[in-house]
Chain A
Amino acid sequence: QPVLTQPPSASASLGASVTLTCTLSSGYSNYKVDWYQQRPGKGPRFVMRVGTGGIVGSKGDGIPDRFSVLGSGLNRYLTIKNIQEEDESDYHCGADHGSGSNFGYVFGTGTKVTVL
């Protein structure tokens, strides 16, 4: 199964941009990744799915246009432009692996985003 690697923290000044990275382990470059936002004390919120061609499907409910994704090689990126205080959250990536009876789902360790 793939391993998803995320840096533990990132920060950006209010109104600036920040890009988060989720790196798939070798051999999984064709995998799609899901991004989730988790505000303090809340359950995760689906942001969007990303593959090498960019967004797959639609954004989650209420996700602002400031959020966008890209995919390249083993990396899946989530960019937040014009970052707001409300964007200060933990961001997790996750991915399906296998199918049928071998289905599984794996998560990265999460990145804590601080708005300065």
Chain B
Amino acid sequence: QITLKESGPTLVKPTQTLTLTCTFSGFSLSTSGVGVGWIRQPPGKALEWLALIYWDDDKRYSPSLKSRLTITKDTSKNQVVLTMTNMDPVDTATYYCAHRGMALFDYWGQGTLVTVSS
């Protein structure tokens, strides 16, 4: 059974750096073809893909946010970490991590709401 859970601060101030952790079980990020992605959803708005890391440490980023994002993995801890710099109120959103298997985002976490406010 694959599960993922996001964790991190619920409130960050403008200009601060956000660090989110995705802790997962039921799969290994050392398995060929497997990845973990991050997706966010501002309140009442559409989903937006942010970043993806693969088993071989290959990384992909949304072009519009690439300069602000870093995704890393700790295979031994079954964790993937996303950092986003220079946070702004428009970055207020629920942030999800998702398992990427068979080229699909087939399992998602419950999400964590991050509010950006001074």
Contacts and interface: CB of A to CB of B under 8 A. Distances in A.
Interface of A: 34, 36, 42-46, 49, 57, 60, 92, 94, 96, 101, 103-110
Contacts of A94: 47, 49, 105
Contact of A96 (B103, B106, B108): B103
Among B49, B98, B104, B111, the one with the most A-chain Cβ atoms within 10 Å of its Cβ is B104
A107 B39 CA distance: 10
B10 interface: no
B46 A109 contact: yes
Given A49-B104, A57-B102, A104-B60, A43 B109 contact: yes
Given A34-B105, A60-B106, A43 B96 contact: yes
B6 to A, nearest CB: 9
Nearest to A93: B47
11 contacts: A44-B47, A44-B105, A46-B104, A94-B47, A101-B60, A103-B60, A104-B49, A105-B39, A107-B39, A107-B46, A108-B46
Interface of B: 37, 39, 45-49, 52, 60, 62-63, 96, 98, 102-111
Among B45, B48, B49, B98, the one with the most A-chain Cβ atoms within 10 Å of its Cβ is B49
Nearest to B94: A43
Contacts of A60: 106
A46 B62 contact: no
A60 B105 CA distance: 10
Nearest to B37: A105
Contacts of B96: 43-44
Nearest to A1: B63
Contact of A45 (B39, B52, B108): B108
A43 B39 CA distance: 10
B103 A43 contact: no
